[in-house]
Amino acid sequence: MLKNKNQGFLKIPETYKHDSASNGKASGLEHRLMQKLLQYMGNPPLEIVLWDNTKIRSANPGEPVGTLKLSSRKVMWRLLLNPGLNFGDDYSAGHIELDGDLTEFLQKVYLAQGPAHRSNLLERYAINRPSRLKHNTLTKAKQNIHHHYDLGNDFYRLWLDEELVYTCAYFPDPGVSLETAQKAKMDLVCRKLGLQPGETVVEAGCGWGSFALHMARHYGVKVRAFNVSHEQIKYAKERAARENLTDLVEYVEDDYRNITGEYDVFVSVGMMEHVGRSNFKTFGELIDTVLKEDGRGLIHSISQNEPRPVNAWLEQRIFPGGYTPTLREMCEVLEPIDCVVVDVENLRMHYAKTCEHWLQRFDDHAEEITAMYDEAFVRAWRLYLSGCIANFSTNSLQLYQILFTRIGQPDVPWTRAYLYQD
C-alpha cells in the first residue's frame, strides 16, 4: 500500500507488479475496447498511448487537449473495468501519465459527458456503487472527518489562506487575494443572516474556527461551534484563547447531531456535503429543534445537478462518507419543518476561483508536501483540486447559499442591496 510517511491516510492499493511478459503488442480487441471507453466518455478531444506506443484517438475532430499514457496492459484493463475508481488510483501511483494540463483535460472530459452519459446505468453501478453501501453513523462520521481533515495543520497551512478557511471564498473582484476573498465570504454570510450584537449562534461544522471568531469579533454574537475533528477543534480553542474571545466563542468537539439548546441563528458552511443522504431528515429535524421560533439560518454547500452517488475514487480516497446534495435536496431538508427559504445564491464561479488559488499554492509547496507524505499523495491531491476546478468551471457542480427563516418572520430586506453596502 502506498502510504504517506506519517499517518497513511491516502489508502491507494499496493502498487501491483507488472508482468513484462504480458505486455506484448495490443490486440485488435483491446484497440476496440479503448475506442468504446472514449465513446463512453463522450469522445472528448483526447489521445491515448498504450504501453506498446499504439495511439488511439477519440472520434472528436478537435485537436487533442492531452495524451494519456498507460504503462501496461494491466492498467488498461483496470481502467476498462472500473474507470471511476482506477483512473484516480493509477494516476496517483504514476501508472497513468498525462501530457497536457490536468485541469484543462478534466474540463474537456466533463464537457463531453452530456446528460446521456452521466445517467448511464453502467456508470451508476460500476463506478459509483460503493457509495450506496455507507451510512454516516456517529462513529463513522468521526472516522471520515479524521481521514480528510486530520492530515495535520502544517499541511493545510501550506496552501489555504492565513485564516485556514477550507470552503468557497467570495471574490468581490476576481483580482483580490484569497485572504481578502475568504474574509469577504465570512462577512457576506454574516450580512445575509443580519447578525445583531448579543444574539446566539450555533455553527454546525466549524473547521479551524475562523468563521465563529469572525462573527464574534465583528458582530458581537455568542457562538457555539461544533466539529468532530480533534485537530481542528484543538487549533480553534487555542486561537480563541489567544484572541481573548473565549467569552463569546465555545468550540465543542462533537457531532452536529448532539447539538443542544436554542439559538437565534443556525449556520452551516461546508458541512452538508458530509452529512450523508440518509441523514438529511435528521439534519432538518436538528435545525427545527435548536432554532428559536423567530430564528433564521443559512446553509452553504456544494451541490450537484442531479441526484447521483459520489465518484468512487473521490469517495474512497479523499472524502469518505460524503454525498453532494442537489438544490432540491437542500431545500427538502427545510420543507418538513417550520422554516421557509427566502434567498438562494449560486457562487459556483467563486468556488472555481478559490480552487485555482488552492491548486497554485499547493503546487508552489509540492516539494514540501512530498517530503511530508509521498509523491502518490501529491499526485492524488493535485488530481482532486484540478477536478474541483473543472467541475465548477464547467457547471458540473454548484455552490449554493440558502437563507431561511421561521415561517411568518418578515424581517428580511426587500432587496440584496444591504449585502453590498460598506
Residues involved in catalysis = 388
Q: Give the HSE-up count for residue 272: Cα atoms under 13 Å, Cβ half-sphere.
A: 30
Distances (CA, A) of 188 to 168, 198, 263, 264, 374: 12, 19, 20, 18, 38
Bridging pattern class, strands 96-99 and 67-70:
antiparallel
185, 165 in Cβ contact below 8 A? yes
Task: Classify residue 126 as exposed, middle or buried by CB count within 10 Å of its CB (0-12, 13-18, 19+).
Answer: middle
b vs e for 158-196, b when ≥16 Cβ sit within 10 Å of the residue's Cβ?
ebbbebbbbbbbbbeeeeeebebbbbbbbbbbbbbbbbe
Pairing of strands 200-204, 222-227: parallel
399 neighbors 355 (Cβ within 8 angstroms): no
Positive or negative torsion for Cα 308, 309, 311, 312: negative
| Helices marked H in 41-128 | 73-81, 83-92, 102-112, 115-118, 121-122
Between the alpha carbon of residue 403 and those of residues 134, 141, 194, 201, 328, the distances in Å are 30, 26, 11, 14, 14
Distance CA(280)–CA(265), nearest Å, equals: 19
Range list of β-strands (E), 120-259 = 200-204, 222-227, 249-253
